Chain A
Amino acid sequence: MQTVFSIAVDALAYGMVLFVISIGLSVTMGLMRVVNLAHGAFAMIGGYIASYAARDLGLGYGIAVLLAVGGTVIIAVPIERFLYRRIYGAPELTQVLMTIGITFCIIGIANYVFGPTLKTIPLPQDLQGSADLGFRTIPVHRLFAIFCGLAVAAGLWYAIERTSFGVKLRASVDNAAMAAALGVRTEVIYALSFAVAVGLAAFGGVVGAELLPVEPYYALRYMVTFLVVVSVGGAGSIPGALIACLLLGAVDTTGRYLMPEFGEFFFYLAVIAIICIFPRGLAGRMK
């Protein structure tokens, strides 16, 4: 019972971190049809900035998070403007190569600037230790990660379903040419949603640093995981991504707890099974 409970909490926290990072990827992939392998690199940049701010400059955790999100967006916007904009609508192979190239560059530069060691982000007092639920205690940080995931999901749902930006975004996802003809400035929508996606990635990178440690190969190591989540959930679908994250988080964490010697075997087996059964993802729309 103890094991089941701790597996459940860890799986939930892991799934939520995955969700925060990859939901941006899912939205941009559904919107711009770009296979963006560099998404994990932006989460890594967020983690590095937060680590630098909190550990080396001694700023507070909240400020570090804000700096990380802001800094990553500032770094990412020129990349979108000059590199990504050229590969919208290009064949997949081109997109894969361009974004792998960007990932390699970011890894190399991050290592040059910050060194090859693992970076930690010191947690504030309130997030350390564990919370007593009466019958079990769980680490506060896990609760915090779960809360962040829920908040991001709710916020995105509101922004997409209830605001005028959300209306334009959905219109552009459904039919970019028609939306542009009706006066929606799709370029602005693209740039804005890219910025939001990158900001969320950075946020997830900071919040999830306890579960996915920040180091130079972060971008390559988890790139696959994020991509898998989006593909399993179906690009552009928030509920799909949420279900995929929770499902894959559960499979991965359970596999690690019960059969650590098999590593990520079950994770990838589950991925292959799901994609073979649902080629367009769990919540993918038929074309």
Chain B
Amino acid sequence: MAAVMNTERALAAQARPRRQAGRDLAGVGVITIAAVIGYLLFPDNLALLTRIVAVALLVLSLDLVTGYCGIATLGHAALFGSGAYAAGILSAHYGINDPLLMTLAGVLGGALAGLVSGVVILRGHGLPQLVLSIALIHLFHEFANKTSSWTGGSDGLSGISADPIFGTFEFDLYGHTAYVFAIVLLVLVFVLLRLLVRSPFGMLCRGIKEDPVRIRAMGASPKAALLKMYVISGAVAGVGGALNAITTQVVGLDSLSFTLSAESLVMLVLGGTGSLFGALSGTVIFMLFEDYVSAANPFHWLTMVGVLLIAVVLFAPKGLYGSVAAFLSRRREAGE
């Protein structure tokens, strides 16, 4: 029943391309305004804001597989970390310091990791799937730890220094260039993803989430579609990883950690799955709170995250953005 209603809603959504384009523009506007506000509020802490953008890319990429395809994974940082290491190794070992080429390397590295993860994770369903994803992130972590001549091991990969963008915009000490670079990347990815999730392929993935048997009966291959989505998701996470490597000039093992995977899932759910705005808002809220509270006491932060998670599951299962959006649309319907 829910599937039928969702399909109808999807059809209705396709009948309003102009409204959707308007919402895309509004989304870009909101991101830009939020970026400017962030710049005005925290001019001394642009590194934090840049980090938020990098993690937001990871959460967006997680949303693609969890929110749109319904795959529960606790190993998504594998894609982020692979992108970061790909970009970092290109600079530190091959001396290619062009930021755009490094980002491209991140995209490729992330996509490759997405392919590997997808092939492994899509073999299972339910609990085995979850365990596979956990085993995978640990395997990536151990692998990066062992190949320390390439990755720097537990010391982290250092010696990354990106050249000026287009040869003119140098990465300054205050992080202005890095911040603008990050926002531009985020807006680009956001627009591309909006197009992707509305495309027939995006619709197919949603259909697979609702009812894979029916999709197979209609002649499409769920597994191939999911794998494709996993590779795309890897590319997006790779952009985030590369951004992190370029702007912080170091890649640590923590970018391949289980903790980062779990945190990104928490952020996604906090904001709301199955919506790009949800992914973005969840990341911003979570990271800002984390910055304030964990500076005081990391364990209180852990307790608070726990309580927050339980509260979201019990009272706002659609996430913060999802609940607000549902509330607004109900009010609009009541007003009409």
Residues of A whose CB lies within 8 Å of any CB of B are 29, 35, 83, 86-87, 92-94, 96-98, 100-109, 111-112, 116, 216, 224, 227-228, 230-232, 235, 261-265, 268-269, 271-272, 275-276, 279-281
Contact = CB atoms under 8 A, between A and B. Distances in A.
B116 to A, nearest CB: 11
Nearest to A94: B313
A251 to B, nearest CB: 12
B305 interface: yes
Contacts of A263: 142, 145
Contacts of A83: 310
B124 interface: yes
B126 A228 contact: no
Interface of B: 66, 72, 74, 120, 123-128, 130-132, 134-136, 138-139, 142-143, 145-146, 258, 262, 265-266, 269, 273, 299-310, 312-314, 317
Given A224-B258, A265-B146, A108 B303 contact: yes
A228 B142 contact: no
A101 B308 contact: yes
A269 B128 contact: no
Given A100-B262, A107-B299, A268-B139, A228 B131 contact: yes
B130 A101 contact: no
A272 B136 contact: yes
Contacts of B266: 97, 100
Given A92-B127, A104-B303, 17 more contacts: A92-B72, A93-B66, A93-B72, A93-B269, A93-B273, A97-B312, A101-B313, A102-B306, A104-B309, A105-B310, A108-B301, A228-B135, A263-B145, A268-B138, A269-B139, A272-B135, A275-B132
Contact of B269 (A97, A105, A272): A97
B127 A29 contact: yes
A29 B314 CA distance: 21
Contacts of A105: 302-303, 306-307, 310
Contacts, number: 134
Nearest to A224: B134
Contact of A109 (B142, B273, B303): B303
The 6 closest A-B pairs by CB, nearest first: A108-B303, A101-B309, A104-B306, A105-B306, A231-B131, A108-B302
A112 B227 CA distance: 44
Contacts of A224: 134-135, 138, 258
A224 B143 CA distance: 18
B143 to A, nearest CB: 7
A91 to B, nearest CB: 8
A261 B146 contact: yes
B300 A108 contact: yes
B142 A276 contact: no
A40 to B, nearest CB: 13
A231 B310 contact: no
Contacts of A102: 306, 310
Contacts of A92: 72, 126-127, 130
B300 to A, nearest CB: 6
B155 to A, nearest CB: 16
A107 B302 contact: yes
Given A93-B66, A107-B302, A272-B135, A98 B142 contact: no
Contact of B306 (A103, A272, A279): A103
B123 A276 contact: yes
Nearest to B119: A276
Contact of A101 (B132, B134, B138, B310): B310
A105 B302 CA distance: 7
Contacts of A280: 128
A59 to B, nearest CB: 28
A112 B299 contact: yes
Contacts of B127: 29, 35, 92, 227, 230-231, 235
B127 to A, nearest CB: 5
Contacts of A86: 314
Q: Most chain-A Cβ atoms within 10 A of its Cβ — which of B72, B126, B135, B309?
A: B135
Contacts of A230: 127
A29 B134 CA distance: 18
A130 B265 CA distance: 47
Contacts of B258: 224
6 contacts: A94-B317, A100-B309, A104-B303, A271-B131, A272-B139, A275-B135
B336 to A, nearest CB: 32
B303 A227 contact: no
A15 to B, nearest CB: 18
A96 to B, nearest CB: 6
B313 A98 contact: yes
A269 B125 CA distance: 19
A103 B120 CA distance: 27
A255 B306 CA distance: 34
Nearest to B312: A97
B301 to A, nearest CB: 8
A272 B132 contact: yes
B139 A279 contact: no
A83 B311 CA distance: 10
B72 A96 contact: yes
B124 to A, nearest CB: 5
A275 B74 contact: no
Contacts of B128: 231, 275, 279-281
Contacts of A269: 139
Given A104-B305, A231-B127, A111 B146 contact: no
A111 B300 CA distance: 9
A100 B267 CA distance: 13
A103 B305 CA distance: 10
A228 B307 CA distance: 26
